[in-house]
Structure 1
Amino acid sequence: MGEWVEEGDRAPAFTMTADDGSKVRLGDLKGGPVVLYFYPKDDTPGCTRQACAFRDQSEALKKLGAKVLGVSPDDAASHAKFRDKYSLNFPLLVDLDHKAAEKYGAWREKNMYGKKSMGIQRSTFLIDSQGKVAKLWKRVSVDGHDEKVLEALKELP
């Protein structure tokens, strides 16, 4: 099981397909902060609230120069449906084989009603303009998380 990428570490590079079929490379986003968040599944209650909170904060995020990227093991068709249903205004990235989640440490053993399985631990990585992890939230509780991310963005040098 992958170790968490910690604050101060270089953010692991990735290239993933987005909901619109385009390729997104972390290396292409240098020069501004990136809010990279891992979530378990499209169109489930917690994931929907989280995505809609980031959607609703898009003006504030834009003012701070931040790009938001959501990542889950769902495929591009599922992402596109989720995006359109809630008018999401940021890319949802496909991590079918959970390689990116493993690199960041977000692919973990979960225990649901005594049944163990592997899955995404809801987590957010704030990556600074130099490509380093400036802040990490390992176990995200959805309500109010968008505000915490905005606060951390304001503290970036």
Structure 2
Amino acid sequence: MPKPPEAGTQAPDFTLPGLLLDGDAAERREYRLADAKGGPLVLVFYPGDDTAVCTKQLCEYTSDLERFTGLGATVWGISPQGLDSHERFARKHRIGFPLLADPDREVAKAYGIAVPGLGLRRSVFILDADLTVRWKHVALAGLTFRHSDELAAQLAALG
């Protein structure tokens, strides 16, 4: 299995189905990493929709979304659940950024964070405008998460 990409290396490319809530509508489409080129991207790999830590993490990032966008960044969440699960989760908690489905964990494997039989390690990768990894955090247990303040500081350092 590949190791997580190191800072200064190109992020593994991918295309995944995803959805974004827009009011009451859920816009479903393909998300290609290459389409994010031109601005910082925060990739949030989380183990599961509507689980305690994941809910707290994604709700915090939604609450602070203007802070991230104010730094020019886009946020994408990625987990193994399908789009129907993502839509229920996003609607229930009003998640304000796209949730991408990686049911075969191919992207998690490419990023070196898949755990056989368990899913994936809670991880955050901050990519610059050229899609180069500038910062990462890969959790060992996944019982905690990196808070918005830490992510915003890393994004500000890109400027």
Q: TM-score, normalising length from structure 2?
A: 0.90
1:1-157 → structure 2 map (5 Å cutoff): 1-19=1-19, 20-109=27-116, 117-139=117-139, 141-142=144-145, 145-157=147-159
Counterpart CA distance in 2 for 1:137 and 1:154 is 17
Corresponding letter in the other structure for 1:30: K
* Cα shift readout 1:114-134 (whole Å, capped 9, x = no counterpart): xxx332100000000011000
Unaligned runs of 5+ residues in structure 1 are 110-116
Moved more, 83-92 or 132-141: 132-141
Identity of aligned residues (%): 38
Partners of 1:2 and 1:107 within 8 A in 2: no
Following TM superposition, the consecutive aligned residue runs of length 4 or more in structure 1 with deviations greater than 6 angstroms are: none
Counterpart CA distance in 2 for 1:79 and 1:124 is 18
> How many pairs align?
149
Unaligned runs of 5+ residues in structure 2 are 20-26
For the aligned residues, what is the CA RMSD? 1.2
Moved more, 31-40 or 11-20: 11-20
Counterpart CA distance in 2 for 1:132 and 1:56 is 26
